[in-house]
Amino acid sequence: MPEQFPPDNSERPVKRAHIKSFGCQMNVHDAERMADLLAREGYEATENADDADLVILNTCHIREKAAEKVYSEIGRLRVRKEERALEGKETLIAVAGCVAQAEGGEIIRRAPTVDLVVGPQSYHRLPDLLKDARGRKTIDTDFPDEDKFDHLPLPSKKRLMARGPAAFLTVQEGCDKFCSFCVVPFTRGAEVSRPVEAVLAEARSMAEAGVKEIMLLGQNVNAYHGLAADGSVWGLARLFEALSEIEGLKRLRYATSHPRDMEEALILAHRDLPKLMPYLHLPVQAGSDRILKAMNRKHKAADYLAIIERVRSVRPDIAITSDFIVGFPGETDADFEDTMRLVREVGFATAYSFKYSARPGTKAAEAEDAVPEAVKTARLHTLQALLMEQQNAFNAATIGRTVPVLFEKPGRYEGQIAGKSPYLQAVHVDIPSGDEISAWIGRIADVRITELRSNSLHGEIVSPLGEADRGGMAA
Ligand code: SAH
Ligand code: SF4
Ligand code: F3S
């Protein structure tokens, strides 16, 4: 059970907290949960770092550029902290997230303005850590035995609704795969799955608050193996079956998956569970077996292609997305051509691609056959051009179709609302005149897609409000 925290004390002057997140969705979700905890401690969230009594940088260590960002941010915050001190105001600066875990006390040595360094598994200890940090520099980069999510307060209904009808739920953290390029096993620790009941209870309370879509999060979410009440161990497919039974929840998603853990049961869930959205983020990283081996991915290009074929055989319309690294040490033109061939063969709905960045402590960082920066840049451009072509083709293929859209927030223009298709495409529509935007948020309606503008699809609502609230697929 989540710990009980004292209620907000309205007699205390309100303090302001600003949390800035970098990196993956797990960080985004951690930031939400830290904000919930801080609200209990009398902190109000502020978008404005200059105005904050507490600034938390929730950092990412995955590539050098991401990690270095934190120091330029700290530089800016130091100036503001000094100004505020002259005004008699205290400012606490905390570094959280994966840089905190990886660099620990080194952060305070390099940037003495930082008061607190807290690793990703210790956020439930924030109230005590903030008290300590007032008196002395404080560092907590333990991997505690307890699960932080069991000790973080569940968000209130009001706070959940303010975040919209699509929400994150972390079911698994850490990673045991040790891909040779990756810091995650070091920054997030060993792979741990949350127990089934804890996940279901959280999902039920989210559904009660009005959440319509849950994205299950994990570094290796399809390796999920959670302990159920009867002592059995459930995989992700079984968990989705149970989640499907929760009334109110209309859509289920998950990220990020590893090809090695793409079990048949999960593939079949894409056929059998209407609430499980036709979207699969399955990073492959490279198309050359030689490079995949050096990356310690533990699968070959052909294995990946076979999985995609199998998934498409049960769910032909599924959107496949991926991550790629170009310029891994030793990658030749021929290796890179293998990646291009794999991309052509699969046809991705969208994908992220990165230049290899050597990370301290990882196996690949010891390699001596680095690819020159200019070659990496050229390969990235070539790959991204192809991926963009595929993304446009995927989106264009939706034009003329009718798809159910979950409306999440007001659009950019008056009378417009923004939502997501089952394939996670952004869709904008004009709501019928006279209707309130708020009445449409959280609804699923059938939308006929009419055009593709720069980054989003536009369409027309074909089912009126009232008849519209159903999940699943339209023809
Ligand atoms: N758990 C996920 C990925 C986590 S990191 C998985 O296993 O797929 C997200 C992406 O960042 C990775 O898929 C990879 O493409 C990229 N990445 C990780 N380490 C990197 C590095 N050292 N250099 C460049 N990109 C990297
Ligand atoms: Fe990193 Fe590989 Fe684990 Fe993904 S599976 S988090 S890339 S080590
Ligand atoms: Fe970055 Fe940590 Fe996520 S390194 S990608 S924030 S797990």
Least confident residue range of 5-9, 228-232, 333-337, 457-461: 5-9
Strands (E) located in 189-247: 192-193, 213-217, 226-227, 233-234
| Residue 287 main-chain phi, psi, to 5 deg | -110, 0
Is pLDDT above 80 for 472? no
Strands (E) located in 78-130: 92-96, 116-118
The closest alpha carbon to 46, from 79, 2, 91, belongs to 91
Reading the block at residue 333, the tokens are 């033109």
One DSSP character per residue, 399-466 reads: TT-EEEEEEEEE-SSTTEEEEE-TT--EEEEEPPTT--HHHHTT-EEEEEEEEEETTEEEEEE-S-TT
Is pLDDT above 60 for 469? no
d(CA 196, CA 156): 21
Strands 350-355 and 43-45: unpaired
Cβ-contact 342, 305 below 8 angstroms: yes
pLDDT reported for residue 9: 47
Least confident residue range of 228-242, 296-310, 440-454: 440-454
Reading the block at residue 142, the tokens are 């333990």
Q: Which domains does the chain have, with CATH numbers?
A: 15-140 (3.40.50.12160), 313-397 (3.30.750.200), 402-467 (2.40.50.140)
Residues 6+ apart with CB under 8 A from 79: none
Mean pLDDT of the chain: 93
Residue 67 Cα to ligand 3 midpoint, Å, equals: 10
Amino acid at residue number 419: G
Identify the residue whose C-alpha is closest to ligand 1 atom 18.
182
283 in ligand 1 pocket by Cβ < 6 Å? Answer: yes
Is pLDDT above 50 for 6? no
Cβ-contact 214, 240 below 8 angstroms: no
pLDDT tens-place string over residues 148-177: 998 898 888 888 888 999 999 999 999 999
| 241-268: average pLDDT | 97
Is pLDDT above 90 for 464? no
Residue of 61, 186, 258 with the most ligand 2 atoms within 8 Å of its CB, for mutation: 258
The reported pTM is: 0.93
pLDDT reported for residue 118: 98
Is pLDDT above 70 for 7? no
CA 303 to chain centre: 26
Amino acid at residue number 380: L
The closest alpha carbon to 314, from 266, 360, 366, belongs to 266
62 in ligand 3 pocket by Cβ < 6 Å? Answer: yes
Identify the burial level of 23 via C-beta atoms within 10 angstroms of its C-beta, where 0-12 means exposed, 13-18 middle and 19 or more buried: buried
Residue 189 Cα to ligand 2 midpoint, Å, equals: 11
184 in ligand 1 pocket by Cβ < 6 Å? Answer: yes
| 247-261: average pLDDT | 97
- Find the helix or strand (DSSP H, E) in which 199 lies: helix 196-209
Q: Which residue has the higher pLDDT, 423 or 453?
A: 423
Q: Where are the alpha helices (DSSP H) in 230-332?
A: 236-244, 264-272, 289-294, 301-314
Cβ-contact 249, 274 below 8 angstroms: no
304 in ligand 1 pocket by Cβ < 6 Å? Answer: no
17 in ligand 3 pocket by Cβ < 6 Å? Answer: no
Identify the residue whose C-alpha is closest to ligand 1 atom 4.
219
d(CA 122, CA 124): 6
Ligand 1 atom at minimal distance to the Cα of residue 357: 23
